[in-house]
Structures are given as structure tokens and as C-alpha cells.
Amino acid sequence: MTKTFVVSGCASGIGKHMALVLARAPQQHNVVMLDINGAALERIVQEHGLAGQPRIMARQHDVRDAQGWQRIFSEASERYRAIDVVLNIAGYLKPGLVHALPPEEIDRHIDVNVKGVMYATHVAAQHMKRQRHGHIVNIASLAGIGHIPGLTAYCASKHAVRGFTLGVAHELAPDGVAVTVVCPDAVETPMLALQVGYEEAAMTFGGGRGLSLEEVERAIMHVLEHKPLELVLPVPGTGRGALAKLANAFPALTKLGLKRTIAQGRKAQSARK
């Protein structure tokens, strides 16, 4: 069945991968592709033969623009009628110890990762409540379950995304609207690559490798089919999902394996340089 998807962060990483997967699907889905980098988004559309296709709507959009979300949803609903799925994938990360983070970096993490998701969910909820169906998928992180020294601003933002999403899911359930939070481990994307040069980000690499985009794709496709409340996606064989949940329940336990995890992460970091 053909559906209409709104996807943010489509110029790179998970967002780009998922937008292309959906655009190429045999169901001939309508895909609204969004990214703040309009030039990169246009190149992707051109390079993958999507330009001029009526079922593809590519727009430059800053997720921090609340009114912009209203315009995007209005245009998409006018063009495609129902909006079936929203994938809030766009995100921001810059490692740094809290005392050294400039205030503007704190703002950027909250504005992009938290407000961006909240603005999109706010508008999507309005549309989906009226149509009495829909699915909102918000990408958080394992960092939104556990706690990671060196990535505290990112960690705080993803905890907010997870808490917000879990609460909204209960709000919208009576209207037939599903809401899911996906909490992946590190993923092999430009966001992971930028962390290689930051000693503070060592814990990110404690799993030895990042998830592939194909692994994330399979997980999201599972979510779209089964609509769980939450999906935790660690690197297979590492137990990092269970460890994050344990750390969330018993924060003091984190210190027991902290030095070992950081040491493993630094070794993996060095191997990437």
C-alpha cells in the first residue's frame, strides 16, 4: 500500500538512507524529504533520479523553525492528502565536557534534537488526530537511556526525546496514532566519523563498531510494521542495550565499568584515525 512519509535529515546518514529506501520501494510511496542543507538535498534528488517525480517533495527546512513545520505539513497534506508516517531523524552532536561547552552548543543540541522533534510531533499530531491514523517515529539514542560522559549535551537532548515520545504515545493512542522512539547505538554515519577526533567521545566507540545503515533500516522497517512503543538497537553481541537500561535504573553502577569502556573506546577510536 502506498503511504506518505515525511522524513527529516535527508542530506546524510540515516535520514538519507531511509528516504532513498522509501522512494525506491515497490509500493511507490510519497516521500517528503527535508534537510537544512538544501544544496546537498537537491544533489541527492538529482543523482538518484528523483527530480521531477510527483511523489517526491524535497524541501530545504530547518527543524528549529516551528512555523516552517506548519508550512511543510500543509503543503504535503494538500499534495498527498493523508500523511501516514513521520520519521524525525535530523540530529546534532558535538562532543565536549560540560565546563568547556560554549552556551551556543548547548542551545544547538536542545534546539535541533529536542525542539525540532517536538515541533514536528506537535504538527504531525494535529494532522493525524484529524485523519484518525498515523505513525510518528522519533530517533533518540542509547545515549537517551544511559549516560555518557563527554557527550552530556547530546545525552540530555536524547533523554528528552525519549521521555517526550513515550508520553506523547499515550496521549495519541486513543486517536489511532502510534508513536515510537528508536534508540540506536552508534551508527556508521558522518555523525560518528566526526567523533573520532574527540577524546571526550571515547565511550561512543566502546562497542567496537557502529551499526550499519542496513541494520538501522531493518530496525525501522520492523517499527513501521509492528509499531512498538520503543525499540532499543545496540550493536549486536555487545550487550550495550541491556547495560544502558541497567545504568538508567541504577546510575551508580555506571562507574563500575566506566574506565574499561573508555579504554576500549579509545583503542577503537585510534584504529579509525
Q: List residues with catalytic annotation.
A: 154
Is residue 105 classed exposed, middle or buried when 0-12, 13-18 and 19+ CB atoms within 10 A define those classes? middle
Angle between helix axes 213-226 and 13-24 (nearest 10 degrees) is: 60
Contact present, 4 and 80 (Cβ < 8 Å):
yes
Task: For residue 5, give the H/E element and its range.
Answer: strand 4-7
Contact present, 268 and 261 (Cβ < 8 Å):
no
Strand arrangement of the beta sheet that strand 30-35 belongs to? 56-60, 30-35, 4-7, 85-88, 134-139, 177-184, 230-233
**SS3 of residue 33 by DSSP:** strand
Contact present, 14 and 187 (Cβ < 8 Å):
yes
Is residue 208 classed exposed, middle or buried when 0-12, 13-18 and 19+ CB atoms within 10 A define those classes? middle
